[in-house]
Amino acid sequence: MFNELGETIKIAFDAIRTAKLRSMLASLGVVIGISFVILMGWILTGLDNAMQDTFDMIGTDMLYIDKHNWAGGSNWKEMRQRKDITLNQAKDFCERIESAEIAVPVIRTRRSQIKYKGQAYQASFIGTVSEHSIISSKNIASGRFFTGFEDNLSANVMVIGHKIAETVFPNEEPIGKIIKIKGRKLEIIGVMKKQGTMMMDFVDLQCYVPIKKFLSIYGRDRSFEIAVKAGSEEKLDEVRDEAQGLFREIRNLKPWAKDDFSINETKAFEEMVKSVRTTVWSIGLLMTGLSFIVGIIGIINIMFVSVTERTKEIGVRKAVGAKKRSIWLQFIIESAVLCFSGALISLIMCSVLVFAVATILPQSVPEVSFLSPTLSYELLITASLVSIFVGIVAGLIPAVRAANMDPVIAIRSD
């Protein structure tokens, strides 16, 4: 059986080698189909990795107590009517929470203007306390976070996001530079690492200032948030439970009242990512499906030609003792090898394309820098297996026809 199999695979390669051009044209549909599979997988992998990186940076063990539910939630109107979270409530919470590693009050602006050398730029601001550095210190690229001393003094210091550093100081060292915000001068003491991706690049526009400075610039008239670091993903549930109970107490909620706040997680972003993922998948799947249908028809067609052409050979093989199963196997393998060769072609083509795109495109479109210049082994193996499967499916009918040929008639044909 195995002796025969090895020989059969050799026969299949010979058969394809003798009809190179024809085989190449026939497998074109499969080449395109496999290319779609590879490219789709490539984009999705890149997207997933980028997301994971971002979550890792922001921290998967983070909870954010906020007036709003970040994932949208069902009742937006109800959320708007919720009372703002005050600085005292936030501070109270941060002192009393026990299970969490750290909790800090946070306050933010959506969009704000900053000026450097007369030029205006967009940024968003986060006011927080020095303890925030426990959450974010690992994300500091250069410089430092502000200290408790600077915090208490309401010092004129700030830590800027990666994107701000890039756009405002393309050729300069940002640390030590002075930026103007609403007429106030702030010194840059730190720069954050790149955390965002195509989908979450707002993260890199965020700048941190001491909470008192924030309040003096933007006023108190807004709701605070509390950033809670659980310590590990496993502790999330425990911390969430304690946080909910504690904050209900702080907000003086009656036992029967609904929460008038939301506990948000980084997972909220995952929902957002999922919808993009689904879109890429469905478009990819549709294209892949269509090209595979075309591909399979092409392969079936060429396999019928191959069977008809070699009728005499089939007769000879049967006369010297080939069983139906052997003939069947021969053509199934030929078809699988044909598709697999197609897959190899698309693997090579896609590798080149992927390398070119991932190295050249981000220079003009930085949003796509999440794309990897190489294809993963999993992807290559999946693509190869899919091609072999397609080959087997496409080869079935022609192979059965070959196997069922009457040897007497087959051997007499020309």
**Site for another protein contains 171 (CB under 8 A):** no
Q: In the set 69, 317, 337, 341, which binds another protein (CB under 8 A)?
A: 317
Q: In the set 66, 318, 336, 405, which binds another protein (CB under 8 A)?
A: 318
Give whichever of 17 and 185 is closer to another protein, judged by the CB atom. 17
Give whichever of 22 and 325 is closer to another protein, judged by the CB atom. 325
Q: How many CA atoms lie within 13 A of 14 on its CB side?
A: 7
- CA–CA distance, 144 with 405 (Å, rounded to integer): 80
Q: In the set 3, 171, 252, 364, which binds another protein (CB under 8 A)?
A: 3
**Site for another protein contains 6 (CB under 8 A):** yes
Give whichever of 6 and 118 is closer to another protein, judged by the CB atom. 6
- Give me the sign of the Cα torsion angle 222, 75, 55, 163: negative
Q: Quick one: which of 123, 127, 216, 110 has its CA closest to 165?
A: 123
Q: Quick one: which of 296, 386, 306, 369 has its CA closest to 35?
A: 386
Contact 225, 194 (CB under 8 A): no
Parallel, antiparallel, or unpaired for β 184-192 and 178-181?
Answer: antiparallel
Binding region for another protein (CB under 8 A) out of 172-180, 242-250, 312-320, 378-386: 312-320
Q: In the set 91, 193, 277, 324, which binds another protein (CB under 8 A)?
A: 324
Query: Is residue 66 classed as helix, strand or coil in its secondary structure?
Result: strand
Distance set, CA 280 to CA 39, 95, 218, 274 (Å) = 11, 45, 41, 10
Residues 369-408 that bind another protein (CB under 8 A): 407-408
Binding region for another protein (CB under 8 A) out of 85-93, 163-171, 208-216, 321-329: 321-329
Distance set, CA 154 to CA 3, 28, 182, 212, 398 (Å) = 82, 67, 16, 5, 81
The pair phi, psi for residue 179, each rounded to 5°, is: -115, 150
Give whichever of 315 and 342 is closer to another protein, judged by the CB atom. 315
**Site for another protein contains 134 (CB under 8 A):** no
**Site for another protein contains 14 (CB under 8 A):** yes
Q: In the set 293, 325, 374, 385, which binds another protein (CB under 8 A)?
A: 325
Q: Which residues contact 393 (CB under 8 A, 6 or more apart)?
A: 296
Which class for 151: exposed (0-12), middle (13-18), buried (19 or more C-beta within 10 A)? Answer: buried
Q: In the set 151, 204, 265, 313, which binds another protein (CB under 8 A)?
A: 313
Q: In the set 71, 79, 215, 316, which binds another protein (CB under 8 A)?
A: 316
Rounded to a whole number of angstroms, the minimum distance from the CB of residue 325 to another protein is 7
Give whichever of 160 and 405 is closer to another protein, judged by the CB atom. 405
Note the residues at the interface with another protein (CB under 8 A). Answer: 1, 3-4, 6-7, 14, 18, 312-313, 315-326, 407-408, 411
